[in-house]
Structure 1
Amino acid sequence: MASHSEFGKDTTATEVASVLGDSIKGRTVVLTGVSPASIGYTTALAIASQGPVSLVLASRTPAKLDAVVRDIKKVYPSAVLHTVLLDLSSTTSIHAAAVSVAALAGHVDVLINNAGVSTPERHPVTAPDGTELDTQFMTNHLGVFLWTALLLPLLKAALSARIVNISSQGHRLSPVRFSDYAFRRGLYDVPDAEKPAADLASFFTSTVDGYAGFLGYGQSKSANILHAIELSRRLSSTGIRSFSVHPGTIETELSRSLDKEGQDTIAKTAPKGFWKTQDQGAATTMVAAFDPALAEVDMATTVGYLSDCQLRDDMVGVHAQGKALATRLWTESERLLKYSVVI
């Protein structure tokens, strides 16, 4: 477990940063998905408060990156901040962004894969190998997979680096549909191991032009967990550890845009009706990234999934924790991207 048993659902990223400051000072950190009023913003602010040697913020919108930098500089004028443009739906952008990070830093101590999308619409994209995908699987998993792979030389150059994938309890909505990544078939017209749970609220299985957006999101979040599992296995001899995180139920622009049925359904997913603030939502990420006690966890026997600032493998669905599934997803990801990862 994490070293601070007092950390829990009410803990904020600001509080975690203060307690774990010695693990942040002097580190080079890369954080994706940074925009104003987001979990990424709160995470960046908490990290900047403790004097990392360099904080690299990667996102796809220059204006939003610039706004975050201005805000952080107002509070922490001496913070060393860099920005990199990164669109995780574009392999060209991912390669260019990785080159930019390498030009900024000789090594990376912590990589936080916070960026992601959630959309009710399919927005089809084509993988490099020609397979049709939905944009959520491309951005939230394959883009993260490639981005992480390209930064591995910088992570291996550090001492005991960390990789943190932001997942979600939304992973329980859907396994990875190896036979139908783009949800072109009927929701249950796939092998049993790839079917969504039979007792889901109808809201979660609703479709737009035949696409079940929430299930597509769930598939990508399951992939985030499996990716972290396989990273830890393959990198076991390097000192790099990889974790996945459930930030909690947090009010976002997405949830505020839902109709009443949607808001009521999402509200039911909040444990005992508890909605986290942005600062509370970033706390578990900070623990996963910086708690020194996690360096002692036996990654061969754990999923490495954190919720409410503690390890909570018991919260992970069976479809997102099998080592065979994790290896299968890794192999499939290399095939879809036409890219072989060098460890």
Structure 2
Amino acid sequence: MTRFGRRSVFAIGFGLTAAARAAAEALPEHERALYDAAQREGELTWYTGQFSAETSEAVGRAFTERYPGVRVNVTRSTSQVAYQRLSQDMRARTAQCDIFASTNYGHFSVLKRQEALLRFRPRNADGLLESIRHADPEDFYQASYIGLYMMAFNTTRVNEADAPKAWRDVLDPRWRDQLSVGHPGYSGAIGLWAVQMRKMFTWDYFTQLERNRPMIGRSSQDPITTLNAGERAVAVAAPSATTLLSISRGNPLKLIYPTDGTLLVSAPAAILHNAPHPNAAKLFQEFTTGPGYSQVARRYFSQSLRPDVPPPEGSRPLAEVTLIAPTLAEAETGVPEVRERWRDTFGV
């Protein structure tokens, strides 16, 4: 066991104080005041389902590097599971979560009606992409993630000419036992995708998809794991970020931008009204809407939230992509509906 003497402890504390002082001097004024208050709280807890565990931890480290002395407790799960955990906290009247982020933006309509969110608009949100600058006109939540969900294939198993081009192409019997997809009961993004497919093609789309016996995981990221393992040939509703990160590490994958539209998921984040560390949470919202956060996300191939940070390598600019997405109202009512019908259709 490592033992620290009084001088060592003093040196560590002095070093942290010096680092914090230097960091504070480099911050803009609106962040400096929050940082002073956040240091007294020392930490925050982030329930998140939008990034992979690896990206989430990288974001947490980058935040602490910018604001020494304020730690991020990353609680990463799929979005539906994160929401269930938050709902359990609320029923137990236990305040554990400071920041909640989910790819199912319907969650935030419910939380807002329940008066569970703290109104706060970070100053750095003024620098976001114009389309997401005002995610909520009343400022109870902010955009914290843009995800593109499409298809991907293993190039050692499928020739590009033969790969599916549109969402309905995966219903062809030739793809029987070759598909992989996430589950709307766990993944917020897959819930939104299911709502959108039902809207475009009726539920018959899933009846036909079931006949091809897709491998069903939980997270939207699970199908990429099955492609890398060679267990399946085509991933359905896969996140571009996870796919591009996998490609960068040498895996033989390729993205498919469906001709009938790529699903856009603009995921919010919000501070809980009973957040145990409200100042640290506000500072985290400033960070997530600032350039540093988008720079970290970009390194893991997630989309930038800001015009001053370019899109990730290998991703098409958003202006060149045909985008589709359910409305906020469709998400709130539709995801619970498709979740139940999914279980009836697929038996999982």
TM-score of the superposed pair, with normalisation by structure 2: 0.35
Larger Rg: 2
TM-score of the superposed pair, with normalisation by structure 1: 0.36
